[in-house]
Structure 1
């Protein structure tokens, strides 16, 4: 293993056996005695490396294989084939030594005990990870202060809101100050202020301790705020691995012009005034904001604006870059980056 790599994955594959039932009553009867199985690959011969200190976004639609990969990288699932080296170890074979070197936060699952105070969970985890009092105090005082969870420590986990619990989960994953952190949907369902606090905190530990972070999320603003590199998965295969900026430059074809009008306007009227131009119109649910997607050519943009302005009374105009969300939707529709 290259000592600068936190994660090395080569030809990684995970297959699941899926039962396919036969149709009709006769089919159901036959299924009682002999079952038909088909092999479904959830992760399909993927390879990638993550350097120590990198923050990487691991993205894909539901069922793309993200969580299966994380479970193999953390040693929860055994791969069908392929090689995984994480922090210089095989996660599955060297389980006990390996778990001392990683932190994991699953947005949907808790590692805190439901009925006891948060600080009691922290104490138990401190013992599990054999963290000395001195190390715990110097590191966790900072974590507790930065995540603002001091007032929550004497409350049982079941009394916490989702945002409070996720901040405590993050702190719990960092009790042993691991060099590598796996975050699976860590900001799911959180309000904007909590998200911002968690993002700032992750940036800070990455800078302070050179912590490697692998982040899977549906919230692309998390990726934009934290990660320079993204690995994109589709149906178990990697379809893009590289800088987020390159993805934007390659796929962000065009601009979005947003119009708000003083009077009621029909979509068909807007389409009519821009006939013959490379423009695609969309309307929001309330019928108040109209978006024109068009080429990123100054002449085209100014012509669209001048045609619309000369035909309708305008309340507001905004010109936006195509969002990362839009770019990724385009990639998935076309199948590869």
Structure 2
């Protein structure tokens, strides 16, 4: 589906001074600075994969996706997506891809979504029979038949996002880019959108998801790619990502005796709910669960306890911190 080889994107930007002297010098000549947004990355994506493409702000994920969608030209390297070079064969390429942006609408504000859908039909040249069949299926699955005749401006955020997905899927794309698709949605709307994505993926549509909502990652992604400082620092399953930082567990504990702020080696305080109820992170490579239970029961008297896998947000923070240490050493 996608093959990326040695992809690099470099920007040249002006470096502005802060002092009066530097500002005066900049009026005559501004020094230039090279920014390496993406550094020589390579990866492949198979048909039907559901990939979470993650990274902190400024990591290079948006730049990479813009090159994948054909919006940006790379400085060097190659991309083959659906057998095409996105920025060279853009007209043919965009007919095979879709995109949903949580913070940017494809719908026209003053007309109903139904009219926007028909406009897309004309743009992509979708045959009438295929259009009606696809539209009927998508509006039924997303339950928007009653609201698609209202002006877009009158729709709630959840209703609008459902219609955004229909806009992206009407022409039958093989590859879909999702950028924060559930941002700002309530729990029910998020569940509906996630179920829809899963159904489309089961039909062979490949999805590449970027999000800061890590619940989306846990609910949807089979494969996680993490980029930081323009380089891929992780590419594997979500389970492997959890195991990347060792055997750690999240423990919620209620006891008879109040907890101190610091604990023994292998135990870290994540959240203090009250003086007798806390959320802890336990490194079971240092302190096995059996030893933890014995020690804490003897010292504090355990009344209630739950043990779960470390939350993915904690795992991601640990991975970013690990990457910073490596860069600092280099």
- Given candidates 310, 318, 328, the residue that maps to 2:316 is 328
Shift of 1:262: 6.2
The aligned length equals 325
Report the equivalent of 1:239.
233
Q: CA deviation at 1:303?
A: 3.5
Aligned to 1:117, which of 112, 133, 137?
112
After TM superposition, give the deviation of residue 246 of structure 1 in Å: 2.1
Counterpart residue number, 1:309: 297
Q: Which residue of 2 aligns with 1:189?
A: 184
What does residue 271 of structure 2 align with?
A: 283
- Cα distance in 2, alignment partners of residues 193 and 283 from structure 1: 27
Q: Matched residues in 2 for 1:126 and 1:258: separation?
A: 52
Structure 2 CA distance, aligned partners of 1:238 and 1:78?
A: 19
Q: Is the 8 A contact 2:96 2:173 kept in 1?
A: yes
Say which of 238, 243, 268 aligns to 1:249. 243
CA gap 1:283/1:203 in 2 versus in 1, 3 angstroms: closer
Q: Deviations over 1:67-96 (max 9, x none)?
A: 111111111111111111111111111111
Q: Is the 8 A contact 2:266 2:284 kept in 1?
A: no
Give 1:1-337 correspondences, 5 Å limit.
6-208=1-203, 210-261=204-255, 265-268=258-261, 271=262, 275=264, 278-284=266-272, 289-296=277-284, 300-312=288-300, 314-335=302-323
Structure 1 stretch displaced more, 294-303 or 188-197? 294-303
- Contact 2:67/2:73 (<8 A) preserved: yes
| Distance of aligned partners of 1:36 and 1:288 in 2 relative to their CA distance in 1, 3 Å threshold | farther
When the two structures are superposed, what TM-score results if normalisation uses the length of structure 2? Answer: 0.91
In structure 2, distance between residues paired with 1:334 and 1:297: 18
**CA positional deviation for 1:242:** 1.7
Q: Is the 8 A contact 1:230 1:244 kept in 2?
A: yes
Q: State the distance in 2 between where 1:252 and 1:162 align.
A: 40
Cα 1:193–1:298, aligned 2, differ >3 Å: closer, same or farther?
farther
Asked if the contact 2:255–2:304 (Cα under 8 Å) also holds between the matched residues in 1, the reply is yes
Distance 2:60 2:289 in 1: 40
Q: 1:312 deviation in Å?
A: 4.1
SS in 1 for 2:200: helix
**Long gaps (5+) in structure 1:** 1-5
Offset at residue 25 of structure 1 (A): 2.4
Separation (CA, whole Å) in 2 of partners of 1:154 and 1:287? 54
CA distance in 2, matches of 1:287, 1:218: 31
Inter-partner Cα distance in structure 1 for 2:26 and 2:304 = 63
Quick one: distance in 2 between partners of 1:68 and 1:25? Answer: 34
